[in-house]
Amino acid sequence: MSEHKQQHDEGGHIHGLTRSDDLAGVSDLRLIWAVIINHILTVGEVIAGIFSGSVALLSDAAHNFNDANALLIAYIARKISKKEATERFTFGYRRAELLGAVINLTLLAVIGLYLVYEGIRRFFEPEEITGWLMAAASILALVIDVGTALLLWAMSKGSLNVRAAFVHNIVDAAGSVAVLIGAGAIIWLQWNWVDPVLTLILSAYILYQVYAMLPKAMRILMEGTPVDLDVQDLVDEVEKLEGVEGLHHLHVWELDEQNRALEAHIVIDRESIEQFHEIKQRIKERLAHDFEINHSTLEFEYTAHTCDDGETAVIAGAASRQD
């Protein structure tokens, strides 16, 4: 006996789980404006970087160009992820945003490594820097970075993809402040070495953010067990429920950041067959309340007729998923 969560409407379409409402009511126009102003900033910083000789400005321009493209990817991914589930994609397109996040973070890693290279190179090949032009460009960049961050703030809480783009702009804003301070040091103290130092600091922070967020996105795409979920604890809690003799063939994964799914075989004795629906309901309530799993597919078996997997072996294998 199986319980299937998917249902068909009158037109034959399959309804997957509903998407999180975290992004509901947020206008995509914010993302479009963010893309436009970041491209404008990129052009301005490239021009200022060439004429001032500042590698920090050129590096920040490259980063802002990446941000603009990252925001464009975020916009496209959000539009795709809102498409309804189909018979081909019964869970819908919810993971489109995660794919966008991986692209964003990968591009950010490339930019960070490039900044490391440029920063080190400028220590050995220093160039004359026009401090006032560097300062003017950094002020413009700071204004645009803050404006973009404000546009993205409301969306950053509900999406790893948009959060990655939001972090891009926070890094940019911090970098713009650092470049402005560095410009002051160049103008008044003639410390040209500050320029490559700032570049290395900015690149280190960028790579740290990639390190923090990319594994999470990849874990979800690889259908890994949620990092905060103890599989053995889940097994123990379900087996404590009245009428449950055992649990095996267990799989737990994340559909996206807000939705978890589970499939498992539940063993009951023949005497409990009349309480089948009550047992099923108790299991689903425990999964939802204690483990935030609202999508579960359960197959029930009698004690004397379990499948060939073997309860003990599969539970041990499931427990090893936590590593």
Q: Which residues of 158-182 are buried (b: 16+ CB within 10 A; e: fewer)?
A: bbbbbbbbbbbbbbbbebbebbbeb
**Last residue within a domain, chosen from 170, 199, 221:** 221
> Could you tell me if 56 and 173 lie in one domain?
yes
Backbone dihedral angles phi then psi of residue 251, each to the nearest 5 degrees: -135, 130
> Which of left, alpha, beta for 289 (phi over 0: left; psi -120 to 50: alpha)?
alpha
The residue length of the chain stands at 323
**Last residue within a domain, chosen from 201, 221, 241:** 221
**Last residue within a domain, chosen from 163, 189, 221:** 221
Structural domain count of the chain: 2
> Could you tell me if 120 and 217 lie in one domain?
yes
> Could you tell me if 164 and 35 lie in one domain?
yes
Confirm whether 226 is domain-assigned.
no
CATH number at 287 reads: 3.30.70.1350
Task: Judge whether 94 and 256 are in contact, CB under 8 Å.
Answer: yes
Give the three-state DSSP class for 107: helix
Confirm whether 235 is domain-assigned.
yes
* 10-residue mean pLDDT series, the chain (323 residues): 38 28 49 80 86 80 73 73 77 76 84 86 84 89 80 62 66 80 90 87 82 87 89 92 88 85 89 82 92 90 64 34 34
> Could you tell me if 243 and 153 lie in one domain?
no
Confirm whether 288 is domain-assigned.
yes
pTM: 0.66
CATH number at 140 reads: 1.20.1510.10
Q: What is the pLDDT of residues 24-64, one digit of tens each?
A: 334 667 778 778 888 888 888 889 888 888 877 877 777 77
> Could you tell me if 153 and 207 lie in one domain?
yes
204 lies in which domain range? 2-221
Confirm whether 37 is domain-assigned.
yes
CA distance 159 to 15: 22
> Could you tell me if 236 and 215 lie in one domain?
no
